[in-house]
Structure 1
Amino acid sequence: MKKVFLLLAFITVGLISCEEEAPAVNESNQVSLKSTPINTISLETAQQWANDWRKLEDKSTYIDDVKGWNVPGSDLTQVMAQDDAVDSRMYIGLNDNETKLIIVGVDADGKDMIDASKGWYIYDATEPCPHKCDSESPLF
Structure 2
Amino acid sequence: MDNQLQKKEPKRVPKDTAIQETENWRSILKPVMGDKVIRGFFIPIEDLTAIANMHQASGMRGYICLTDKNDFSSISFIVVPVDENNKDILSEKNGASEEEISTIYDLTKPCPHFCDPDSPLY
Correspondent of 2:77 among 98, 101, 119: 101
What corresponds to 2:107 in structure 1? Answer: 125
Deviation of residue 78 (structure 1)?
A: 2.3
The DSSP-based 3-state class of the residue aligned with 1:116 is strand
The DSSP-based 3-state class of the residue aligned with 2:62 is strand
RMSD value over aligned CA atoms?
2.8
What corresponds to 2:23 in structure 1? Answer: none
Deviation of residue 92 (structure 1)?
A: 0.8
Moved >4 Å (runs of 4+): none
Give the 5 Å matches for 1:23-62.
60=29, 61=32
How does the TM-score come out when normalised to structure 1?
0.48
What corresponds to 1:85 in structure 2? Answer: 57
The DSSP-based 3-state class of the residue aligned with 1:104 is strand
* Structure with max Cα Rg: 1
Unmatched 5+ residue regions in structure 2? 1-27, 95-100
Give the 5 Å matches for 1:128-139.
128-139=110-121
Tell me if the contact between 1:75 and 1:123 (Cα under 8 Å) persists in the aligned partners: no
Equivalent AA in structure 2 for residue 77 of structure 1: T
| Matched pairs, number | 82
What corresponds to 1:66 in structure 2? Answer: 38
How does the TM-score come out when normalised to structure 2?
0.55
Kindly, what percent of the aligned residue pairs are identical? Answer: 37
